């Protein structure tokens, strides 16, 4: 996730900016840059890679100014490179800007600006903002920023400097956080509290559509009509580590709480009023010519792929094979030029998945990657890429990446289905409306956190747990089970509910815990029978189900309710209670949730 820092005061700005960026490193980034106001101009330096590269590049240059802005970039539009790094500058170098967020209508704005003669230096969505500000600038920076933002759709936290305002930073936010740190004779602005904690603990938290004009002595916050707003000071009492986690006890919990935002950000650029727009993907080719779809991935990403097997086959009537990447290349898969290979990887660097991608390409298949990391090996080698805009995932246990992977697969399925004529316009519109409700539904499920925490408290001392389900609920059971075992070290297995009586039921005894995602109305009664069989052997039944599932509700000992949704949307939301359950079991057992034993975030060896 990108990070922003700005400083205006009496000390040289560069060390403050570099220190602030260092404090933001934990968020993940692939390039960094600074812009410092000095001697009537703006000195800019930016470098791909680690902050150390930027530090080295600034060493041999004179940075004397006492006001400036800095940025760490997590690539979205455009690969990680020096050019795509922030700050971006106006053509004459008189204005510099850093931005967090996504400008959704950047293509339209870019075309407009190019018609006006503006020449773009980068592939980013951000660069439109600096040219728009330059276009509107008539001596008043606040007005120019406001006029430019009026035209921008999407999310932003921005900081802007202009060379004739030597100690002033103008900033603004919408749907992306920005705080102002209040010092003595100096002030700060940042995307996150850790960036400024070394200097001050007194902040203003900007709200959406607010702007601020910051100088060493004054901070003026303005509302969307440019009227001054009086803000309450927020006193930060977190220590530095807690501040990095936004006040949450662990990154995993923070990332679960970011799922609504990750879903919104993944949807926003793709979902217009009545249409799903997917960048650079040959949808007609898939809809009309793909013989089969292969989905290949590891771990959580594989479980996201399993969901698509069930939904794509039933809706699109295209055969879908799902493979663990580590197995795919050793089974001589019959894949060829009529097939689509979808590889899914949060990191985009998983060695097995990359090897599967290469094999698929060698066999002539079209390769589509679903990944979270722009510029990753998988994104570079695939024929086309659909990004999950989940933001960096730091906890080893994958949570928000899973939700957005399932969401991307649902977007693809709906768009291909429409292309194939599977849905009429009305049904298609209803499906799009359902997608739009997902962020709100995620927030509502998170309100049940207390109930799930209590359940975890009751069951965390068990040594085994069994997850059962049918169809997509089985795919969810696999993911719920993986979450539980990888962080709480409770042995757990996912079993298709119908297979229980073919062997695994022998494991059940008095007090065994069965966790039952049951979200498919057509299967409620069948799953309820399996639950009753298990209860008769002493098992305790915890169901994650809907209010309509009467047969399930009748036999479960504990119930966590989830809303009724289509099968392709259901797992995006219904996985949240299982993620929270795993999280609280691990916390109760006293384990290091974010760094479970023996596991790495990215597995770059076979
Ligand atoms: O980066 P990737 O999505 O390719 O990683 C795949 C798996 O290693 C990953 O999902 C792993 O299973 C997670 N620890 C699960 O929480």
Mutation pick for ligand 1 pocket among 296, 348, 369, 398 (CB with most ligand atoms within 8 Å): 398
Main-chain phi, psi angles of 158, to 5 degrees: -130, 155
Grouping H, G, I as helix, E, B as strand and the rest as coil, residue 190 is strand
324 lines ligand 1 (CB under 6 A): no
> Which pair of tokens denotes residue 546?
């809907």
Alpha carbon distance 478, 469 (integer Å): 9
Which atom, in ligand 1's list, is nearest to the CA of 483? 16
Q: Are strands 179-182 and 211-214 parallel, antiparallel or unpaired?
A: unpaired
If you measure from the C-alpha of residue 487 to the centroid of ligand 1, how many angstroms do you get, rounded to a whole number? Answer: 13
If you measure from the C-alpha of residue 599 to the centroid of ligand 1, how many angstroms do you get, rounded to a whole number? Answer: 10
Q: With contact defined as beta carbons under 8 Å apart, do 215 and 180 qualify?
A: no
Mutation pick for ligand 1 pocket among 300, 323, 483 (CB with most ligand atoms within 8 Å): 300
Residue ranges in the chain modelled with pLDDT below 70: 1, 604-606
pLDDT given for residue 1 in this prediction = 65
Catalytic, 362? Answer: no
pLDDT given for residue 159 in this prediction = 98
If you measure from the C-alpha of residue 601 to the centroid of ligand 1, how many angstroms do you get, rounded to a whole number? Answer: 7
301 lines ligand 1 (CB under 6 A): yes
pLDDT given for residue 559 in this prediction = 98
Burial class (CB in 10 A: 0-12, 13-18, 19+), 294: buried
Q: Which of 392, 412, 405 is nearest to 302 (CA)?
A: 405
In DSSP terms, which residues pair with 495 in a beta bridge?
468
pLDDT given for residue 79 in this prediction = 86
377 lines ligand 1 (CB under 6 A): no
560 lines ligand 1 (CB under 6 A): no
350 lines ligand 1 (CB under 6 A): yes
376 lines ligand 1 (CB under 6 A): no
Which residue has a Cα nearest atom 11 of ligand 1?
A: 299
Which atom, in ligand 1's list, is nearest to the CA of 402? 10
Which residue has a Cα nearest atom 8 of ligand 1?
A: 299
Which atom, in ligand 1's list, is nearest to the CA of 603? 8
Catalytic, 198? Answer: no
Mutation pick for ligand 1 pocket among 28, 298, 343, 396 (CB with most ligand atoms within 8 Å): 298
Domains of the chain listed by start with CATH number: 3-236 (3.60.20.10), 245-441 (3.40.50.10490), 448-589 (3.40.50.10490)
Span 187-226, pLDDT tens digits: 999 998 889 988 999 999 898 899 999 999 999 999 988 8
602 lines ligand 1 (CB under 6 A): yes
Q: With contact defined as beta carbons under 8 Å apart, do 369 and 323 qualify?
A: no
Alpha carbon distance 486, 489 (integer Å): 6
If you measure from the C-alpha of residue 298 to the centroid of ligand 1, how many angstroms do you get, rounded to a whole number? Answer: 6
Alpha carbon distance 279, 106 (integer Å): 13
In DSSP terms, which residues pair with 221 in a beta bridge?
212, 229
Alpha carbon distance 605, 235 (integer Å): 45
89 lines ligand 1 (CB under 6 A): no
pLDDT given for residue 606 in this prediction = 63
The Cα-based distances of 199 to 1, 195, 202, 571 in angstroms read 23, 9, 9, 44
Mutation pick for ligand 1 pocket among 350, 406, 481, 605 (CB with most ligand atoms within 8 Å): 350
Q: Which of 2, 66, 569, 585 is catalytic?
A: 2
DSSP letters along 27-83, please?
A: G--SEEEEEEEETTEEEEEEEES-HHHHHHHHHTS----SEEEEEEE--SSS-SSTT
Distance from the first to the final alpha carbon of the chain? 28
pLDDT given for residue 566 in this prediction = 97
Distance, C-alpha 272 to centroid of its chain: 19
Q: With contact defined as beta carbons under 8 Å apart, do 525 and 497 qualify?
A: no
372 lines ligand 1 (CB under 6 A): no
In DSSP terms, which residues pair with 514 in a beta bridge?
466, 541
603 lines ligand 1 (CB under 6 A): yes
Span 134-151, pLDDT tens digits: 999 999 999 999 999 999
442 lines ligand 1 (CB under 6 A): no
Q: Which of 472, 457, 464, 434 is nearest to 580 (CA)?
A: 457
582 lines ligand 1 (CB under 6 A): no
């Amino acid at each position: 996730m990108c990070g922003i820092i700005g400083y205006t005061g009496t000390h040289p700005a560069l060390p403050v900016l570099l220190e602030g960026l260092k404090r933001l490193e934990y968020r993940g980034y692939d390039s960094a840059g600074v812009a410092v106001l000095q001697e009537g101009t703006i000195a800019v330096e930016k470098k791909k890679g680690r902050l150390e590269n930027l530090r080295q590049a600034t060493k041999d240059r004179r940075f004397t100014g006492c006001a400036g802005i800095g940025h760490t970039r997590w690539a979205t539009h455009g690969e990680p490179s020096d050019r795509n790094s922030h700050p971006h500058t106006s053509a004459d170098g008189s204005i510099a800007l850093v931005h967090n967020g996504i400008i959704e209508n950047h293509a339209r704005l870019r075309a407009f600006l190019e018609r006006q003669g503006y020449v773009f230096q980068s592939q980013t969505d951000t660069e439109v903002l600096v040219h728009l500000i330059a276009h509107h600038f008539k001596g008043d920076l606040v007005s120019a920023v406001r006029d430019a933002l009026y035209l921008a759709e999407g999310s932003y936290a921005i900081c802007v400097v202009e060379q004739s305002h030597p100690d002033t930073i103008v900033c603004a936010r919408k749907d992306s956080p920005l705080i102002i740190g209040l010092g003595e004779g100096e002030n700060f602005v940042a995307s996150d509290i850790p960036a400024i904690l070394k200097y001050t603990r007194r902040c203003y938290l900007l709200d959406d559509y607010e702007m601020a004009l910051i100088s060493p002595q004054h901070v003026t916050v303005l509302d969307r009509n440019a009227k001054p707003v009086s803000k309450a000071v927020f006193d930060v009492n977190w220590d530095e580590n807690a501040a990095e986690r936004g006040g949450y006890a662990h990154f995993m919990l923070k990332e679960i709480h970011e799922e609504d935002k990750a879903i919104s950000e993944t949807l926003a650029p793709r979902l217009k009023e009545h249409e799903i727009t997917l960048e650079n993907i040959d949808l007609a080719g898939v809809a009309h010519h793909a013989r089969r779809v292969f989905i290949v991935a590891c771990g959580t990403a594989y479980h996201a792929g399993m969901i698509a097997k069930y939904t794509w086959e039933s809706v699109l009537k295209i055969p879908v094979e799902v493979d663990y990447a580590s197995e795919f290349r050793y089974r001589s898969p019959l894949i060829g030029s009529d097939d689509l290979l979808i590889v899914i990887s949060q990191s985009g660097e998983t060695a097995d998945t990359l090897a599967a991608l290469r094999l698929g390409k060698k066999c002539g298949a079209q390769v589509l990657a679903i990944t979270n990391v722009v510029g990753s090996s998988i994104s570079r080698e695939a024929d086309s890429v659909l990004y999950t805009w989940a933001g960096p995932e730091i906890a080893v246990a994958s949570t928000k990446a899973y939700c957005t992977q399932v969401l991307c697969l649902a977007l693809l399925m709906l768009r291909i289905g429409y292309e194939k004529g599977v849905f009429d316009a009305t049904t298609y519109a209803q499906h799009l409306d359902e997608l739009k409700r997902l962020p709100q539904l995620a927030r509502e499920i998170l309100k049940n956190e207390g109930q799930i925490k209590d359940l975890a408290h009751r069951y965390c001392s068990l040594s085994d747990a069994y997850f059962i389900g049918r169809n997509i609920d089985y795919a969810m059971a696999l993911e719920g089970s993986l979450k539980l075992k990888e962080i709480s070290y409770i042995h757990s297995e996912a079993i298709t509910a119908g297979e229980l009586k073919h062997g695994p039921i022998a494991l059940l005894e008095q007090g065994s815990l069965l966790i039952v995602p049951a979200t498919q109305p057509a299967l409620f009664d069948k799953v309820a029978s399996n639950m009753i069989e298990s209860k008769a052997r002493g098992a305790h039944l915890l169901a994650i189900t809907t209010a309509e599932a009467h047969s399930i509700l009748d036999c479960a000992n504990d119930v966590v309710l989830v809303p009724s949704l289509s099968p392709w949307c259901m797992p995006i939301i219904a996985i949240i209670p299982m993620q929270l359950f795993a999280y609280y079991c691990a916390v109760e057992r006293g384990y290091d949730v974010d760094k479970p034993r023996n596991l790495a975030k990215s597995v770059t060896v076979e």
